[in-house]
Structure 1
């Protein structure tokens, strides 16, 4: 595989990144290439933890901006290598988030020694964002090397349509369990079908009235949804246990504990077990560095979904999502990003970093 040229055009760099397969837990080859490219930049410090890379300048500038993006993608769906059709770049990870990572890598490489740079920079390219949080490379870096996550503003290259998406929703997952009594399916009346008992649970979740919460002009819309149903013993057995996995995306004005209390209240009378919970992040738009970026870009909206801006927010660092492309194309076989978004984000961010 040819080396990565971080100073090349961000569109070409996006295509190169897409063409290097890196599903979660399989980022090593891409991490090797990114590491070598970062080591080739004069005057920067580089560290590696597993398949997570970090590099930073130390020019004594008054503020520091962190540029962070993940290396991994969801499993490839016959969409590598990339295709460029009608000014859209197609391929696994094109929008989530190799185009955002390409812009960040390019700007770090071209501005690290530039006299017009207004901020010291930290670049983080991390593994395993698309899977369970216990594997998240940014989380591990925060635990092993917390000083590398210190800054005045953090940017995540998540797809945001080339505008700023502020904060993020929290997310939790619960398991709702119903119980019955086994029986042979030929004599089903002798049993009590636990799967049938999930019917009222599903109906109650469908009746949930989502909140729309306005925070600093950013409107977060909540959602409670069944994402998985489980109940099976054999094709001729009435199941005595059934489960519904339920995901709650909640606005960042409440904590995970408060969100869980809301779910338990809504599902009162049923067995509810918490499996995973991560708080969201408030917009933080009043912070000077964030306000300056928004003034440069000219538009801001709420981020639907959870992103790693929450990790920075928990550390007291204002963070926003800023990257190319429509997030609704993430994880799809026809995943794509407009070339114009890549060039626009690169130009806007360059202007901000050199103001």
Structure 2
């Protein structure tokens, strides 16, 4: 088990006020110890806004529980740097504490876990460590080499129609205009460019109900779904090269439903399919491809999210990659970088924490990764090599 190394006197909830002059690790603790489950971000948004109001070089805008802070230095380029304030529900994993992960536990845990000091607790990985780094740098860096739009938003962990960044993009798109964007989602301190798109569909078959003792009088919709599963099993995922990165696609049945009773031939079967497609493919083309792939079957699109190109060939992106000294990788999962991409802004993911620990009851972030991401962003924004 992880050893708890937090002094007992220190195991108390931090006050709602934030002090950005402390280390990024301590600021992460303060942010995490202000609970902000999706839909309840107002106290944390108030604290972030109050801290930013003390920085005269920033123009601060509040939009619901989304906080935007902009430099206006007249630089040739503008970079948007964003993070969400909300977390999934707490499960006896607050307040935060410092723990030490032993070599044996690291070897037995998820891939990429390293021995050493961690900050444990809800939100440490997804994604308040990234938010802490961003908030500290936003206040400290009064003369970045690019103009920066810092954004902290609500409701990322719930349905898309509630997403604060999405609401801001709809109501105030000018606040998201930039030449490049960085989202502080956990990437273990690596650069993950863009993201795959995602589409979910229902592929439906129909039959005719009958008593199972006289099955020949009906038509079995579940049996009729066999060709659907056969096509999926035979599918070979494509790898698509986009802006220097190789995105691996995926097509999988993730749920199947059908049947009404144990003695009734089913008259309907639905195979729920998730398609992950490269960011060079539009949602319209993805849908058209799926309809061709499942030709002969009824197809209904139930969810669609466009991908995001990383745009790593842009000079502003190349400068970022060089500054943080991390070889870019593709992001296979969907993130809010897609919202920037939809506005024509190339975007990457870059933040501390292993995404495999996001939402876990033992959510924890390596202290070394918090420091490394802070140093990388600092180098980039100050023009240091």
Question: Match for residue 311 of structure 1?
Answer: 339
Matched, 1:57 2:85: no
Question: 1:125-164 alignment to 2 at 5 Å?
Answer: 125-164=152-191
| Superposed displacement of residue 331, structure 1 | 2.8
Question: Match for residue 14 of structure 1?
Answer: 28
Q: TM-score with structure 1 length normalisation?
A: 0.90
Structure 1: give runs of 5+ residues left out of the alignment. none
Partner SS, residue 346 of structure 1: helix
Structure 2: give runs of 5+ residues left out of the alignment. 1-14, 101-116
CA distance in 1, matches of 2:31, 2:366: 16
- The higher radius of gyration belongs to 2
The CA deviation string for residues 120-144 of structure 1, in whole angstroms up to 9 with x for no partner, is: 2211111122233222211111111
Q: For structure 1, which segment, 135-144 or 224-233, has the greater mean C-alpha deviation from structure 2 after superposition?
A: 224-233
| Superposed displacement of residue 61, structure 1 | 3.0
Structure 1 segments, 4+ long, off by >6 Å, are: 185-189
Partner SS, residue 320 of structure 1: strand
Matched, 1:90 2:120: yes
| Superposed displacement of residue 230, structure 1 | 3.5
Q: 1:82 to 1:292 in 2, by over 3 A?
A: same
CA distance in 2, matches of 1:39, 1:229: 52
| Superposed displacement of residue 46, structure 1 | 1.8
CA distance in 2, matches of 1:123, 1:194: 52
CA distance in 1, matches of 2:60, 2:134: 15
Question: 1:135-284 alignment to 2 at 5 Å?
Answer: 135-183=162-210, 191-231=218-258, 233=260, 239-284=266-311
| Superposed displacement of residue 353, structure 1 | 0.5
| Superposed displacement of residue 185, structure 1 | 6.5
Q: CA RMSD in A?
A: 2.3
The CA deviation string for residues 174-231 of structure 1, in whole angstroms up to 9 with x for no partner, is: 1122223345667766554434544442343232210112223311111112223334
Question: Match for residue 336 of structure 1?
Answer: 364
Matched, 1:67 2:94: no
The CA deviation string for residues 44-94 of structure 1, in whole angstroms up to 9 with x for no partner, is: 222222221111122333322211011122333443332321212222232
Task: Pick one of 282, 287, 290 that aligns with 2:314.
Answer: 287
Q: For structure 1, which segment, 165-174 or 201-210, has the greater mean C-alpha deviation from structure 2 after superposition?
A: 201-210
Contact 2:98 2:120 in 1 (8 A): yes
Q: For structure 1, which segment, 294-303 or 89-98, has the greater mean C-alpha deviation from structure 2 after superposition?
A: 89-98
Partner SS, residue 134 of structure 2: helix
Task: Pick one of 29, 33, 40 that aligns with 2:54.
Answer: 40
Partner SS, residue 221 of structure 2: coil
